[in-house]
Amino acid sequence: MFASDFEDRVYDVYFEGFVGAGLTLNSQAVQLRNVDAPWFLTGLTITFDDGIPAITIRDALGRACSQAPISLQNQGSFQDQSVMGSLMYLKFPQNQSMLIDMAELGGVVDCNYKINFRGFKRYRKGEAPCP
């Protein structure tokens, strides 16, 4: 198959939650709703009210994409390799959830957060739904 055999459509996934001061929530399932095509993660944007949030993103097999949680304290967004190490895009097959671990590293205040996972769905030519 060649790149010309596919059509990519921007598709972002939104997730919000809460993590208590100094705690880590492991394996939070982010529903991708990608029943019609595989989804590729290209970056993320996060907003949070307080604390020092950190994230670990796991691939479709549950493997961590970084050796340690990535602190999001000073940055509101990451693109491509900042989040996913040496991977250009992180692929999630159809009907899969993405797993994330969220931590609050400061240990003093709770953290409410909203994350926009940026990405796209990849369809075979002629199989994409009408825009």
Cα 27 from Cα 86, distance rounded (Å): 22
Model pLDDT, residue 11: 94
DSSP helix, strand, coil percent of the chain (3-state; round to 5): 5, 50, 45
Q: Which two three-digit tokens encode residue 59?
A: 């691939």
Say what the pLDDT of residue 66 is: 82
In 3D space, the residue among 116, 114, 108 whose CA is nearest the CA of residue 48 turns out to be 114
pLDDT at position 34: 86
Q: Among residues 58, 51, 10, 49, which one has the least CA distance to residue 30?
A: 58
pLDDT of residue 59: 81
Residue-range domains of the chain with CATH: 7-123 (2.60.120.380)
Q: What is the pLDDT of residues 70-91, one digit of tens each?
A: 887 765 544 443 444 444 688 8
Q: How do residues 39-71 score in pLDDT, each as one tens digit?
A: 999 888 888 888 888 999 988 788 888 888 888
**113 CB burial (10 A radius; 0-12, 13-18, 19+):** buried
Tokens of 93: 């097959």
Q: How far is the C-alpha of 62 from the C-alpha of 100, rounded, in Å? A: 9
pLDDT tens sequence across 105-129: 999 999 999 899 999 999 999 888 8
Note the residue count of the chain. Answer: 131
pTM: 0.84
The DSSP code for 128 is: S
Which residue in 87, 86, 59, 57 sits closest to 72, CA to CA? 57
